[in-house]
């Protein structure tokens, strides 16, 4: 029941955000639609081609950190195979019911050959956590630099919640007392809780293998910095499709905040929140509503194309002995555990 209510609330929030975006882009009038259509049809084909070519490149950059961290836990898997797994994960992000479906799939694909699921989860978790910490720091610095634009109450609250969440996750890894306290408080009360505690213990044991490996953590943050540099460049290239005088400097301020907002889990599949993030933030930098929405729509299209590429590559993964039923079973199990929490 909780899962149904949560899904309904997220759908409503997504719908409200879409309505807001339509209102901001003046799409409740003919003039708004004419301006949007004119913007879309006047796209620069050269920049558009470059924006599409950028899709596999950004996945390639993301795979570098995953491959490095996996090797540190003695996963002997080729970079090419992980690159393929990453692209397939983009597809499952779109089709699986879990909000973290793509990550669960990547854990499964990495671990299936030797059944080291806790270690595989630790690799993906550390990869994600270093990326999230980097993004939060980037976004807060960007908001501070442009304080006159981003001194917004709801955004400040979101920053505060993110900082607290990251702090608790890091604390869980580096300090055993928090987990032992939870174990002492809840163990034996419920089979599902016991299963969660057992999985958390295995995961924590694997994740702590990075705790004393300062070099690996530092390099993971360096790879995150490199990724976000290219992510910013990705949005800049996409923006240049519709407006040829976009400042790359302004993108270094706007994009971290856009990506931070996009990662707030308020809607299903990020529908509404992504479009809101682009139209809201870019409007603060003087972008016309139709330009901001066009950029958001093209970024959405690129996400769909990335998922479609993953769908096309999936038969290759299937030929390696990985099938959808196996993956979906794992994902639904994780979703079931989450719904019981």
Q: What is the pLDDT along the chain (341 residues), one digit of tens a residue?
A: 666 777 788 888 889 999 999 999 999 999 999 999 999 999 999 999 999 999 999 999 999 999 999 998 888 888 998 999 999 888 888 776 555 667 888 888 888 766 788 788 888 888 988 999 999 999 999 999 998 899 899 999 999 999 998 888 788 777 778 778 878 888 877 777 777 777 777 667 767 777 777 888 899 999 999 999 999 999 999 999 999 999 999 999 999 999 999 988 887 777 889 999 999 999 999 999 999 999 999 999 999 999 899 988 888 776 665 555 554 554 444 444 344 43
pLDDT at 282: 95
234 vs 58: CA distance, rounded Å: 8
pLDDT at 30: 92
217 vs 130: CA distance, rounded Å: 8
Q: And the tokens for 272?
A: 């509404």
pLDDT at 106: 86
pLDDT at 284: 93
Q: And the tokens for 324?
A: 């959808």
C-alpha closest to that of 294 among 20, 50, 35:
35
pLDDT at 224: 94
pLDDT at 191: 76
Residue length of the chain: 341
C-alpha closest to that of 94 among 271, 322, 230:
271
Residue 319: Cβ within 10 Å count = 8
pTM for the structure as a whole = 0.84
Give the Cα-Cα-Cα angle 102, 106, 111 (nearest 5 degrees). Answer: 150
Q: And the tokens for 93?
A: 């992000």
pLDDT at 22: 93
Cα→Cα distances 16→31, 39, 94, 296, 333, Å: 22, 24, 21, 17, 31
Interior/surface letters 29-52, b for 16+ CB within 10 angstroms, e for the rest: eeebeebbeebeeeeeeebbeebb
133 vs 139: CA distance, rounded Å: 10
Contacts of residue 241, Cβ cutoff 8 Å, sequence gap at least 6: 43, 44, 47, 48, 51, 294, 295, 298
């Amino acid at each position: 029941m909780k899962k149904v209510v949560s899904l309904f609330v997220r759908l409503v929030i997504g719908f409200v955000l879409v309505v807001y975006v339509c209102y901001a882009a003046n799409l409740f009038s003919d003039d708004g639609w004419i301006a949007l259509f004119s913007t879309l049809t006047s796209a620069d084909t050269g920049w558009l081609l470059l924006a599409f070519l950028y899709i596999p490149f950004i996945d390639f950059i993301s795979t570098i950190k995953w491959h490095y961290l996996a090797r540190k836990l003695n996963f002997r898997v080729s970079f090419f195979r992980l690159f393929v797994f990453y692209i397939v994960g983009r597809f499952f992000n779109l089709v699986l019911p879990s909000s973290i479906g793509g990550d669960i799939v990547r854990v499964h694909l990495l671990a299936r050959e030797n059944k080291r699921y806790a270690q595989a989860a630790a690799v993906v978790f550390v990869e994600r956590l270093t990326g999230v910490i980097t993004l939060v720091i980037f976004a807060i610095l960007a908001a501070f630099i442009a304080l006159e634009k981003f001194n917004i109450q709801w955004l400040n609250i979101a920053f505060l919640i993110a900082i607290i969440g990251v702090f608790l996750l890091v604390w869980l890894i580096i300090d055993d007392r928090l987990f032992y306290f939870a174990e002492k408080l809840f163990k034996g009360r419920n089979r599902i809780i016991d299963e969660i505690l057992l999985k958390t213990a295995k995961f924590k044991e694997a994740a702590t293998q990075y705790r004393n490996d300062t070099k690996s953590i530092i390099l993971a943050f360096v790879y995150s910095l490199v990724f976000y540099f290219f992510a910013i460049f990705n949005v800049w290239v996409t923006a240049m499709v519709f407006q040829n005088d976009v400042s790359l400097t302004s993108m270094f301020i706007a994009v971290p905040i856009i990506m931070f907002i996009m990662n707030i889990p308020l809607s299903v599949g990020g529908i509404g929140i992504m479009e809101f993030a682009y139209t809201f933030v870019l409007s603060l930098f003087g972008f016309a509503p139709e330009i901001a929405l066009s950029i958001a729509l093209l970024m959405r299209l690129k996400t769909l194309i990335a998922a479609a590429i993953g769908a096309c590559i999936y038969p290759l993964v299937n030929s390696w002995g990985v099938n959808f039923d196996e993956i979906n079973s794992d994902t639904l199990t994780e979703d079931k555990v989450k719904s019981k929490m």
